[in-house]
Structure 1
Amino acid sequence: MTELPSPAALAADLCDLLDIEELDTDLYRGKRGKDGFGRVFGGQVIAQALQAAQRSTEAPKIAHSLHANFMRPGNEDFPILYRVVRDFEGKSFATRRVIALQKGQPILTLTCSLQTPEEGLHHQDTMPDAPPPDALQPDTELRAAMADRVPERFRRTFLKPRPIEIRPVSPRSWLDPVKSAPRQQSWFRICSAVGDDPVLHRAILAYASDMSLLGTGTLPHGINWLTHNLQTASLDHALWLHAPFRADQWLLYACDSPWAGHARSFNRGQIFTQDGRLVASVAQEGLMRLRQ
C-alpha cells in the first residue's frame, strides 16, 4: 500500500507550488503541479496569477479583488509563464493585468486591484447558521467510506489526498445523487499550519475558492461527474478579498447557484471566519454540459 503524504507535506507542496519564480521584470514562471491528471486545476492558475500581481506591487498596497477569464485548459506537462502589465499606479490603488501563457498561447487573463489599507464605514451579511467544523466528518473520510463503489477509472482522482481540508455541512450523495436546492456549505482550510505571510494566505484562499463552487450548480439536477457524462470547466472567476484572515484556520464557504442555462451555470460564494467575519466573496460562471 502506498504511504499517504502527511498534512504537513501536502501543505508544504501547495506553498511551494504558489511560490512563483521571477524570470525578469514583470515576468514569472509558475511551478508545475504534481497531480498527474494532465489538466491543470483552475485554482492553481488563479492563485499563481494573483501571486504575480502581488509580487509586482510594493507594500503597503494589498490585493482586494481579482477577475479572471479562462480561455484554454492548462497542461501539467509544461510550466506556465505569467506576464504582468502595470496598467495603473496611484496613491491609494494600483491595477495589474496578468496574462498566463503556456507554449506561447494565453490560457488565462486576470486583472487585479490593490489598495493601500484605510479605515471606512462597515457593514456585512450575517454568517449563515452552520455546525462547527469539529462536529463534521472530513471529506476524505466520507470519500474513503464509499471507495469500493467508485468506478476504477475515477477512483484515483476521487481519493487523491489534497492540501485543502474540507468538511461539508451536508455531504453530497456522490453515487446516488438526488435533486436538491442549489445551496451548499463547507468548512475548509489548508491542512497544516503555514507561516504568517498574508500574501501567501490570500493566494491559498484564491486556490481554494475554485473548489466546491461549480458543483453547486449541479445539485438541482441530481447529476455529477461520477454518475453522468458531464463536462464542466470554469469560464470566469471573480474574487473579492474584504478583510484579513488566515487560510490555515477554518473558513466557512457558503455557496449558491441562482441560475443555469445554455450549458452554463452561475455560482456565488461567501467566505466567513469562525467568529462570523465575512472576509471574501466569490462569483463564477462555468461550463455545465451534459453529453449524450
Structure 2
Amino acid sequence: MALTVSELLTLLRLREESRHVFVGGSPVDGVRRIYGGQLLAQSIMAMGQTVRDAHRLHSMQGYFVHPGDVTRPLRFEVQAVREGRNFSTRHVRVSQDERLVFIGASSFQTQEGVHERLPSMPAVPSPEQLPSEADFFANEANLLERRRSHVSLIMQLFERRSEQWRPWLDPGVRAPVNGLWCRLREPCGDDPLLCAAVLAYASDLDLMTTAMRPRGYGAMDSHARSASLDHAMWFHAPVRPDEWFYYDMTGPCAMNNRGLGAGALYQDGRLIATAMQEGLMRVDDE
C-alpha cells in the first residue's frame, strides 16, 4: 500500500477522544512494526495540541518501550507537567490496549529575546547534483518487495538525494558518517507544530544505521536486526519540510550492540534542528 503525503498529514492529526487523550492509527504496508518516526511525530502533535498557541515546540525526547503493531489503534495520554507563562512541559504515554509502546516529553516556549546564533551548514553539493534514492537503488528495488522495510515509506513520502548512498546488501565497512538532502514530495502548509512533527518523522530512519556503518551490514541484511531505543531532538528555528533541508549525520560511538547517532539539520544555509538517537543492532552469527 502506497502512503501519500496527504494521508500522512491526516495520520498525524490525531483525534481528541477526551481532554488530553488522543487516538490515532498507522499505515498498513506490509511491515508489522510501527515506524519510530511516526510515534515521534504523533506524540509531538498530541502534546502540542494541549498548549497555548503562543508556546512553540523547542525540544522533545522519548523512549521506544515496546514495538508497536500497525494493525491496532494508538492511544496518546498527555500530562501537563508545567503550565507557565513562558514555558509549558508535557509528558505523553502511548499505548495499544494495555501495552505501553512509547513514552516521551516535550517543552514549549513563547518567543523572546533578539539574540540569534545559528551555525552555517557544511559545504556540500546541491541536491540537483546528487543521485536520487530511487535511482541509486533501482537495481535493488526488488528487495523492498521481498523484505518489507520502513525505507519504502520514506521513499514514497520524501525525495532524498545524497552522495553517500550505500547498497542495501553487502555495503562493506564504512565510516560512521552520512549526509542527505530531503524534502516532502507535496506541500504540507505552514503550521509550525505540524512542520516540526514532519521533520521528526523524517529524522528517525538514518541515525542508527549511520552509527552502525562500521559493522558492514546493510539495511536489508537478513542477518541483522535493528530497532530504535530512544530519540531526542531540539528545534532551533522554523522549518518547511516540503522545501530542501540537509541532514548531516555521524555515529560517535557504539557499544553492547548499541550505536549512537547524532544529526544536524539545516535549511537555507543555517542550523534548524539537532537530533540524537541510540539504536540496537543484533547480528545472528555474532
TM-score category by the smaller chain? over 0.9
TM-score of the superposed pair, with normalisation by structure 2: 0.93
Residue equivalent to 1:142: 136
Q: How far 1:59 moved relative to its partner?
A: 1.1
Aligned residue in 1 for 2:278 = 285
Could you give the per-residue CA deviations for residues 35-79 of structure 1, whole angstroms, max 9, x where no partner exists?
231110011011101100100011100110001011100001101
Cα distance in 2, alignment partners of residues 158 and 249 from structure 1: 20
Q: Which residue of 2 aligns with 1:50?
A: 44
Unaligned 5+ segments in structure 2 are: none
Q: How many aligned positions are there?
A: 284
Shift of 1:289: 1.4
Match of 1:211 in 2: 205
Where do residues 156-167 of structure 1 align in structure 2 (5 Å cutoff)? 161-167=155-161
2-structure distance, mates of 1:40, 1:103: 15
Match of 2:13 among 14, 19, 27: 19
Identical counterparts, % of pairs: 35
The alignment status of 1:227 with 2:221, answered yes or no, reads yes
Aligned with 1:90 (options 69, 84, 91): 84
Q: Which moved more, 1:29-38 or 1:257-266?
A: 29-38
Name the SS of the counterpart of 1:162 in structure 2.
helix
Provide runs of 4+ in structure 1 moved above 3 Å: 155-161
SS of corresponding position for 1:13: helix
Cα deviation, 1:140-197, whole Å, max 9, x if unaligned, reads 222223335x486226766565212221231112233121210000011111112221
Take 1:58 and 1:10, find their aligned partners in 2: how far apart are those partners?
30
SS of 1:121's equivalent?
coil
Within the alignment, does 1:263 sit opposite 2:257 as a pair?
A: yes
What's the RMSD between the two structures over aligned residues? 1.9
TM-score, with structure 1 as normaliser:
0.92
- Residues 25, 174 of structure 1: CA spacing in aligned structure 2 closer, same or farther, 3 A cutoff? same
Say which SS state the counterpart of residue 28 (structure 1) adopts: strand
Output the amino acid matched with 1:73: P
